[in-house]
Amino acid sequence: MKTESLLTQTKRILRRFDLKSRKRLGQHFLVDEEVLQLIAASAELDPSDTIVEIGPGLGILTGELARRAGLVIAVELDDKLAASLTKTLASFSNINIINQDILRLDPAALLPAPGPYKVVANLPYYITSPVLRHFLEATVKPKRMVVMVQKEVAEAITAGPGQRSMISLSVQFYGKPKIVSYVPARAFYPAPEVNSALLRIEVYPRPLIAVTDDKGFFQLVRSGFTASRKQIANSLAQGLGRPKVEVLALLEKAGIVPQRRAETLTFEEWAQLWQVFTRRKEEK
């Protein structure tokens, strides 16, 4: 007997529960078996793993994760999808479906007990950055994230010095990202207008560089990107609301040429600038 394709299965579930893809929520359902297996394999699951899945949709990936992991906590914002999941995944005893907004939940509160966990998700494009920040900045961070994101976003996240942006710095501060594979639009139903990429982030036990105030550090970094493609001295002066002569003095103390652009700075240089900036505040 021929196995039902994921596309056929998807359409059948949509008909059964009178569901439609909601563009506002960025719903595109995965219908490629090879990609499904690649996501699960990239997470490197075993029966002791606890998985947090964001946006399980119709539950096709959820079921595959549940076959490999000990517990899957599936967080779905859409009421109708969450209700359908309780029926389509009823045969699994290791799936916990939560009908809430993931951005309003503390990751630690999702876990039945303190301990390591992984995040696996086919993320709606419009919440990619907020979700990554939500977990990477959490008190209890995942040890690995395997997420489907827009191709251009994945490339921005993995960019090195010279091409870095706020999103690459904010992710690479907490973990090492790698593009596992590019995924064409036809792997989803309905097909999005852009291609995707499967991104894997190995989260560090502690941030890449030691700073005493993560929030303050990123406020400084964000100021450096205030004026895109402009010299770091001009961007910082504008972003911090400080006189340029003061910013030039800070850059000189940090050993950073003021004509450089923010995207060229290494993490070590940002850390040095932060230390100089912090000492200056303490002296005032």
Nearby residues of 9 by Cβ (< 8 Å), 6 or more positions away = 60
Q: Which residues pair with 119 in a beta bridge?
A: 52, 145
Of residues 86 and 230, more confidence is placed in 86
> Given a cut of 90, is residue 135 above it in pLDDT?
yes
The enclosing H or E element of 180 equals strand 175-183
At residue 161, the pLDDT reads 81
> Could you read off the pLDDT of 162-183 as tens digits, one per residue?
888 999 999 999 999 999 999 9
Q: Which residues pair with 175 in a beta bridge?
A: 203
User: What is the residue whose two structure tokens read 């999103």?
Assistant: 167
Nearby residues of 215 by Cβ (< 8 Å), 6 or more positions away = none
> Could you read off the pLDDT of 234-248 as tens digits, one per residue?
999 999 899 999 999
Question: If you average pLDDT over every residue of the chain, what do you get?
Answer: 92
List domains and CATH numbers for the chain. 6-203 (3.40.50.150), 214-283 (1.10.8.100)
Distance CA 149, CA 146 (A): 10
User: What is the residue whose two structure tokens read 């000189």?
Assistant: 252
Q: Strand ranges (DSSP E) for 35-171?
A: 50-54, 71-75, 95-98, 118-122, 144-150
Q: What are phi and psi of 132, to 5 degrees?
A: -60, -45
pTM greater than the 0.95 cutoff = no
At residue 282, the pLDDT reads 64
> Given a cut of 60, is residue 1 above it in pLDDT?
no
pLDDT band at 274 (very low <50, low <70, confident <90, very high): very high
Q: What's the CA angle centered on 141, arms 139 and 143, to 5 degrees?
A: 160
Highest mean pLDDT: which range of 92-101, 205-214, 226-235:
92-101
Q: What is the rounded (10 degree) CA torsion for 10, 134, 161, 165?
A: 80
DSSP 24: G
> Given a cut of 70, is residue 25 above it in pLDDT?
no
> Given a cut of 70, is residue 284 above it in pLDDT?
no
